[in-house]
């Protein structure tokens, strides 16, 4: 009988904890939905505050008669009152219809769908690489602050962090795509694939080759933030009692770092990573522009230039919603990972 | 674990070694003759009824026939799909004889195709997006066999410059909603020198030579248009050989091509005029004043004084790196020899600050204690705004020079930077400007650019419509415009058009600054021959019509050296990568051993 008591007690203790998590998650998701609703409203009005008449901008200096402009305005629904436009916009948005692009004359969702793959591939890969590099270097640097490794890696990452993306990208393009002196230009100058790309495995290689420079640019510019967060959290752990205990047990220094300090120090980085995942969808306008990467960033940029209201709204909503969702997810996961948050 | 790492390393070696694959493949003996054209803009649509971007209309020009195209020597309209035409004495009925040729799918081309294209645009608003105004004046279009009859509402001398590509009725009449049709079905059915066979959005368009083209198949097998998002990368692409030709370069990008022995810098007269637009008292189409232009600019004498104070040669040298021609004429650039007018003798305005000051003194604009002139009635100082675009280094530079010169006249010029949509609004509709930068690309028939200075182009009171480049409304100019519309004799029409240019020059609602050169570059180790339009020092990508791209000839592939180079590169990459991976694998292996040993301790 006495043997069965501990599990029962455990069950009783766990039940409120699980319910707590559920309640916490529901509250967080509710908050996220509220944020999304506010974003939808803000998106609609914010983009209409932008200067410029989209119909006139679309004419792009071509001769258009007043009748034609009227027609265009009717076609885009711009002849209706702001309230009517707003109701229509909300109604469409909640039905996952992001409207029709002014410039491309095609559904915004289709345009996004065509480009999101390329963006996710590039920014996703870059994120994974930047996070791995940042965590690895940050953990080592924080473990022995002031060491040569710390000074070197922190220094390099900070220099790259402060370099303008456009400049670094163009530099890499000129050196490794065009080739300078003894360095051969081995990487392509643009895009995600060659015009005559082979099929099958060859295609994968071709895309990989195209990804090297844009990926390198993105990683170089952003990995410092993971490194610094990781470094400072590891630094916090170094003086902790459990570390001293582990040392006293005779564990190797590397082992203590890898098995005890790093897992404890990962929490702030997890939050950061999840926030970044949200931004992955937004892509990197600059990097995409340098390497002519056919992704979302370029689409968004073009949309602002016109201005193409529906397309801007669509891409903007997509980006903000994914950031909100990922933030919520980060909150919930944080809750699961760290018991201290739960009790607090 | 060790096996796994070994396998990964091997895979990595394979992968990186394989990167050289595409380069090596290009060395196949019977390689097709491919020319790659770079473009710093992507296609907006493959549907010619919708596409408005320059790159799109260029590609469509290589795919489809038109009623007429500019002659490669004279730029005068010459037969294309219409092999001949006649005009009724009143100039209202045009009859075209459509050539007996075939669409790329083997169907015959008839007048019904042309009639369908124009009627589609007349009846379906969705089809008006790209070229709506081109059929505005069409009363009816009918077909009978190979005969196409177009009845106009009013005479139109520019009829043969019609920009509408003739589309295949049999392939396109099945399309439901033309305004939403992407035309992404390949191969496309075309009548021009090339057939689009593939389009990867934002990446490239592949065009194959049309073997049955009625002028004869092009001399290359494939033409590829490759899109770059920024000119700097495109220049790198040209130097490296990823592309073979690129047009529409800005002076700094053009100069970046200097010193490469394989690249031809193609620098010719351009089709564009850069000018100042002066708010000389803007009005709406019902003649009500609009905007907040400075009252002094209503005085032609002030506008003339400004004109005298501009050193156009200096602007060309300093702002355009010498790659332009100072404008002694108006809005039609000198490359259009038939229509170009330039001022001579008394009429010619040359840089002369003293003369400019004298004009202002004589007109009663007195300088104040601060050296700034005031209106003759003393009401306002001569302080003008100069509207330019944000992020436009050339315009910034121009503003600096103008500010300096105008200061010598006792006129203050302050620069106002606007993003492009706001700029278009303030300088084209609401008239909230004094002086603004402007420019226009002129077609072989200058009617459109002339029309941008008509009374009817001014916006309505509600701020609708327009397309004015100056808010100009001058009875004399108006009368000349109507006169040239009816004049079907080309030399006589050219004389009238020159009078219009002269009127713009002397009345100065716009002040032409310079004609920027057309700057392009191509690789002579890839392109053996290309005929420009016009043939004598004309344009390539920037030109109208398909002539340069139809006549492209590729250098025959005996340049095995280049391919060898590619494989070498591949080998180097492979080796370097392999070594790196081995080092990495070795490092991890030793570490693994160490930790295992540690655990055992």
Is the Cβ pair B204, A189 closer than 8 Å?
no
Of A62-66, A104-108, A154-158, the poorest mean pLDDT is in A62-66
CB atoms within 10 A of CB B292: 14
H and E: helices and strands count for chain A: 15, 2
The count of C-alpha atoms lying within 13 angstroms of the C-alpha of B6, restricted to the half-sphere facing its C-beta, is: 3
User: Do B497 and B307 contact (CB within 8 A), yes or no?
Assistant: no
Instruction: Enumerate the CATH 1.10.3720.10 domain ranges in chain A, comma separated.
Output: 115-342
Q: Which residues of A touch B203 (CB under 8 A)?
A: 191-193, 195, 292, 294
The Cα A169–Cα A187 span in angstroms is 13
B434's tokens: 């004094």
Q: Is the pLDDT of residue B562 over 60?
A: no
Question: Which candidate in A119, A140, A173, A190 is best for mutational testing of the B interface (most B CBs within 10 A)?
Answer: A190
Arithmetic mean of pLDDT, B380-403: 94
ipTM: 0.80
User: Do A319 and A116 contact (CB within 8 A), yes or no?
Assistant: no
Is the Cβ pair B242, A291 closer than 8 Å?
no
Is the Cβ pair A190, B206 closer than 8 Å?
no
Of A62-66, B308-312, B523-527, the poorest mean pLDDT is in A62-66
Q: Is the pLDDT of residue B20 over 60?
A: no
- 């035309």: which residue's tokens? B183
Question: How does pLDDT run across A111-166, given as a tens digit for each residue?
Answer: 888 888 999 899 989 999 999 999 999 999 999 888 999 999 999 999 999 998 88
The count of C-alpha atoms lying within 13 angstroms of the C-alpha of B551, restricted to the half-sphere facing its C-beta, is: 14
CB atoms within 10 A of CB B484: 22
Q: What is the pLDDT of residue A70?
A: 75
Q: Is the pLDDT of residue A18 over 70?
A: no
B356's tokens: 């400019």
Q: What is the pLDDT of residue A283?
A: 59
In B213-232, the residues whose Cβ lies within 8 Å of chain A are 224, 226-230, 232
Ordered strands of the B138-144 beta sheet: B82-87, B93-98, B147-152, B138-144
For A249, nearest residue in chain B (alpha carbons): B601
Q: Which residues of A touch B417 (CB under 8 A)?
A: none
The Cα B509–Cα B473 span in angstroms is 10
Distances (CA, A) of A122 to A163, A294, A297, A307, B372: 20, 10, 11, 26, 58
Q: Is the pLDDT of residue A17 over 80?
A: no
Q: What are phi and psi of B198, to 5 degrees?
A: -160, 145
Q: Is the pLDDT of residue B219 over 90?
A: yes
Question: How does pLDDT run across B126-169, given as a tens digit for each residue?
Answer: 888 888 889 989 999 999 999 999 999 999 999 999 999 999 99
H and E: helices and strands count for chain B: 17, 21
CA pseudo-torsion sign B314, B318, B320, B321:
positive
Q: What is the pLDDT of residue B567?
A: 42
Q: Is the pLDDT of residue B579 over 60?
A: no
Arithmetic mean of pLDDT, B98-120: 96
Q: Is the pLDDT of residue B420 over 90?
A: no
Q: Provide the 3-class DSSP secondary structure of residue B485.
A: helix
User: Do A324 and A32 contact (CB within 8 A), yes or no?
Assistant: yes
The Cα B155–Cα B135 span in angstroms is 13
The Cα B131–Cα B406 span in angstroms is 41
Q: Provide the 3-class DSSP secondary structure of residue B315.
A: helix
Q: Which residues partner with B151 through β-bridges?
A: B93, B140
- 């990208």: which residue's tokens? A169
Nearest to B294 by CA among B412, B402, B390: B412
In B3-62, the residues whose Cβ lies within 8 Å of chain A are 15, 18-19, 21-22, 25-26, 36, 44-45, 50, 52
Q: Which residues of B417-448 are buried (b: 16+ CB within 10 A; e: fewer)?
A: bbbbbbbbbbbbbbbbbbbbbbbbbbbbbbbb
Q: Is the pLDDT of residue B572 over 60?
A: no
Look up the CATH number of domain A115-342: 1.10.3720.10
B177's tokens: 């909603």
Arithmetic mean of pLDDT, A233-243: 87
The Cα B465–Cα B417 span in angstroms is 24
Report CA A89 to chain centroid distance, whole Å.
26
In B343-382, the residues whose Cβ lies within 8 Å of chain A are none
Q: Is the pLDDT of residue A14 over 60?
A: no
- Mean per-residue pLDDT of chain B: 87
B41, exposed or middle or buried, with CB in 10 Å at 0-12, 13-18, 19+?
middle
Arithmetic mean of pLDDT, A239-246: 86
Question: How does pLDDT run across A89-100, given as a tens digit for each residue?
Answer: 888 888 888 888
Task: List Cβ neighbours of B407 (8 Å cut-off, separation of 6 or more).
Answer: B413
What global pTM score does this model have?
A: 0.83
Q: Which residues of A touch B286 (CB under 8 A)?
A: none
* Higher pLDDT pick, B346 / B28: B346
Q: Is the pLDDT of residue B556 over 80?
A: yes
């Amino acid at each position: 009988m006495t043997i069965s008591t501990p599990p029962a007690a455990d069950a009783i203790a766990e039940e409120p904890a699980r319910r707590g998590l559920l309640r916490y998650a529901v509250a967080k998701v509710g908050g996220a939905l509220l944020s999304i609703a506010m974003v939808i409203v803000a998106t609609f009005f914010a983009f209409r505050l932008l200067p410029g008449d989209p119909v006139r901008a679309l004419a792009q200096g071509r001769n258009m008669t007043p009748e034609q402009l009227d027609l265009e305005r009717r076609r885009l629904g711009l002849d209706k009152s702001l309230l009517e436009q707003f109701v229509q916009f909300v109604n469409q948005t909640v039905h996952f219809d992001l409207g029709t692009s002014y410039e491309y004359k095609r559904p915004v969702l289709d345009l996004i769908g065509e480009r999101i793959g390329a963006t996710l591939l590039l920014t996703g890969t870059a994120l994974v690489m930047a996070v791995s590099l940042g965590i690895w270097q940050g953990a080592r640097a924080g473990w022995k602050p002031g060491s040569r490794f710390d000074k070197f890696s922190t220094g390099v990452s900070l220099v790259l962090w402060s370099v303008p993306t456009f400049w670094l990208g163009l530099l890499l393009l000129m050196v490794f795509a065009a080739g300078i002196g003894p360095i051969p230009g081995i990487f392509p100058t643009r895009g995600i694939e060659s015009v005559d790309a082979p099929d099958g495995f060859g295609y994968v290689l071709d895309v990989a080759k195209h990804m090297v420079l844009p990926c390198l640019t993105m990683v170089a510019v952003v990995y410092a933030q993971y490194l610094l967060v990781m470094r400072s959290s590891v630094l916090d752990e170094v003086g902790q009692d459990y570390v001293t205990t582990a040392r006293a047990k005779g564990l190797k220094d590397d082992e203590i770092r890898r098995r005890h300090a790093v897992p404890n120090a990962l929490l702030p980085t997890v939050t950061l990573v999840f926030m970044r995942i949200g931004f992955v969808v937004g892509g990197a306008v600059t990097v995409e522009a340098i390497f002519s990467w056919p992704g979302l960033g370029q689409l968004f940029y073009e949309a602002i230039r016109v201005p193409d209201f529906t397309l801007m709204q669509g891409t903007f909503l997509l980006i903000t919603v994914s950031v909100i969702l990922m933030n919520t997810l980060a909150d919930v996961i944080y809750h699961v990972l760290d018991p201290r948050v739960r009790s607090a | 674990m060790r096996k796994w790492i070994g396998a990964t390393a091997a895979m990595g070696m394979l992968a990186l070694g394989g990167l050289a694959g595409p380069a090596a493949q290009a060395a196949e003996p019977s390689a097709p003759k491919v020319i790659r054209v770079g473009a710093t803009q992507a296609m907006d649509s493959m549907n010619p009824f919708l596409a408005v971007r320059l790159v799109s209309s260029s590609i469509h020009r290589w795919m489809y026939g038109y009623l007429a195209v500019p002659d490669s020597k004279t730029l005068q309209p010459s037969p294309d799909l219409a092999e001949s035409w006649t005009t009724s004495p009143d100039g209202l009925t045009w009859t075209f004889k459509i050539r007996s040729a075939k669409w790329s799918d083997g169907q015959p081309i008839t007048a019904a195709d042309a009639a369908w294209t124009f009627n589609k645009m007349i009846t379906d608003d969705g089809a008006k997006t790209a070229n709506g105004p081109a059929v505005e004046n069409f009363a009816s279009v009918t077909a009978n066999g190979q005969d196409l009859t177009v009845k106009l509402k009013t005479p139109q001398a520019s009829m043969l410059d019609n920009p509408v590509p003739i589309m295949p009725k049999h392939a396109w009449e099945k399309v439901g909603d033309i305004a939403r049709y992407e035309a992404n079905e390949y191969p496309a059915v075309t009548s021009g020198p090339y057939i689009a066979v593939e389009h990867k959005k934002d990446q490239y368009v592949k065009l194959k030579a049309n073997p049955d083209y009625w002028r004869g198949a092009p001399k290359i097998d494939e033409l590829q248009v490759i899109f770059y998002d920024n000119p700097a990368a495109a220049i790198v692409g040209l130097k490296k050989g990823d592309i073979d030709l690129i047009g529409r370069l800005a002076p700094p990008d053009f100069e970046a091509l200097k010193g490469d022995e394989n690249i031809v810098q193609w620098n010719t007269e351009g089709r564009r005029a850069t000018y100042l637009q002066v708010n000389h008292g803007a009005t709406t189409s019902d003649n009500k004043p609009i905007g907040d232009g400075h009252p002094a600019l209503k005085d032609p004498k002030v506008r003339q004084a400004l004109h005298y104070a501009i050193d156009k040669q200096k602007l060309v040298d300093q702002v355009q790196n010498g790659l332009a021609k100072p404008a002694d004429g108006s809005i039609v650039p000198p490359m259009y020899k038939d229509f170009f007018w330039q001022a001579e003798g008394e009429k010619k305005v040359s840089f002369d600050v003293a003369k400019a000051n004298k004009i202002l003194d004589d007109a009663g604009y007195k300088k104040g204690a601060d050296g700034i002139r005031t209106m003759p009635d003393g009401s306002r100082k001569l302080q003008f705004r100069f509207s330019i675009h944000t992020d436009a280094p050339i315009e910034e530079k121009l503003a600096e020079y103008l500010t300096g010169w105008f200061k010598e006249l006792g006129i203050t010029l302050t620069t106002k930077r606007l993003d492009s949509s706001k700029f278009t609004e303030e300088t084209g509709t609401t008239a909230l400007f004094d002086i603004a930068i402007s420019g226009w690309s002129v077609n072989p028939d200058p009617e459109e650019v002339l029309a941008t200075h008509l009374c009817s182009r001014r916006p309505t009171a509600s701020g609708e419509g327009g397309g004015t480049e100056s808010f100009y409304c001058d009875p004399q100019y108006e009368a000349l415009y109507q006169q040239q519309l009816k004049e079907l004799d080309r030399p006589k029409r050219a004389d009238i058009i020159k009078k219009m240019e002269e009127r713009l020059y002397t009345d100065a609602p716009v002040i032409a600054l310079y004609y920027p050169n057309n700057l392009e570059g191509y690789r002579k180790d890839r392109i053996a021959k290309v005929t420009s339009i016009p043939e004598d020092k004309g344009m390539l990508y920037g030109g109208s019509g398909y002539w340069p791209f139809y006549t492209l000839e590729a250098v025959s592939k005996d340049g095995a050296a280049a391919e060898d180079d590619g494989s070498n590169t591949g080998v180097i990459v492979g080796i370097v990568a392999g070594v790196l991976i081995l080092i990495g694998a070795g490092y991890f292996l030793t570490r693994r051993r160490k930790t295992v040993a540690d655990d055992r301790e």
